[in-house]
Amino acid sequence: MEKEDKVIIVEGRTDKQQISKIIAEDVEIICTNGTIGIDRLEQLILDHDLDHKDVYILVDEDYSGHKLRKQLSFELPHADHIYIDRAYREVAATPAQELAAVLLSKRISIHPIFLS
């Protein structure tokens, strides 16, 4: 089985569900379920071979999201950051068309239905 070269790291399951319906390519979406400890993060990097993949970080625009982004940035300096508008605060609360636009800006294929 061929592994995906692109990985998006999100906080929760609802974030993953929201993004999964928009993306039109084979991208692995990993949930951290909030901030994580260094041991679990290192295991995540090893389990998913994140040092050798295109990693995107897409987290909420709140305190825990900023804390997780900082933590992931330190461990995965090659990761590309995707930001949502602060007005929506949460990835899951961001309208699909907005998410589609930010994903497309990072050259991630999306289903055309989400283009406005």
For the chain, which domains are there?
6-106 (3.40.1360.10)
Q: How open is the CA angle 77-104-94, to the nearest 5 degrees? A: 90
pTM for this predicted structure: 0.93
Per-residue confidence band for 1, with pLDDT thresholds at 50, 70 and 90: very low
Position with higher pLDDT, 36 vs 98: 98
| pLDDT tens digit sequence for 45-84 | 999 999 999 999 999 999 999 999 999 999 999 999 999 9
Residue of 48, 88, 27 lying closest to 19 (CA atoms): 27
Contact 113, 21 (CB under 8 A): no
